[in-house]
């Protein structure tokens, strides 16, 4: 997931658990966006094309969704805490 910092790897590894297989096999039953609900999406771009990339490509052109890109791996709160806070604050 794009994590290369040994300190973060050491912190995360003992906390890892298997991902539920159904999350990959069952389609999401998402509802349409409510017109009065603000939607924000933080995309971590620092580890190449991932399963999140097609979703980001789709929502970044949706005027109802505000997006922020952080050039880091999936664990942005650990690898780039300041940028993560700034991204979330910009979406608030």
Q: What is the pLDDT of residue 58?
A: 93
Condensed to tens digits (0 to 9), the pLDDT of residues 22-76 reads 888 988 887 888 888 889 999 999 988 888 999 999 999 999 899 999 999 989 9
pLDDT confidence tier of residue 11, bands split at 50, 70 and 90: very high
Count of beta carbons in the 10 Å neighbourhood of residue 65: 16
Q: CA–CA separation, 69 vs 89, rounded Å?
A: 13
Q: What is the pLDDT of residue 19?
A: 87
Buried (b) or exposed (e) across 20-46, using 16+ Cβ within 10 A? eeeeeeeeeeeeeeeeeeeeebbbbbb
pTM here is: 0.79
């Amino acid at each position: 997931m794009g994590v290369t910092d040994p300190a973060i790897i050491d912190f995360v590894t003992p906390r890892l658990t298997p991902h539920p297989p159904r999350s990959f096999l069952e389609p999401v039953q998402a509802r349409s966006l409510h017109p009065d609900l603000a939607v924000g999406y933080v995309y971590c771009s620092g580890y190449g094309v991932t399963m999140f990339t097609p979703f980001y490509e789709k929502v970044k052109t949706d005027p109802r969704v505000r997006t922020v890109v952080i050039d880091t791996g999936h664990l942005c709160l650990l690898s780039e805490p300041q940028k993560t806070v700034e991204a979330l604050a910009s979406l608030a």
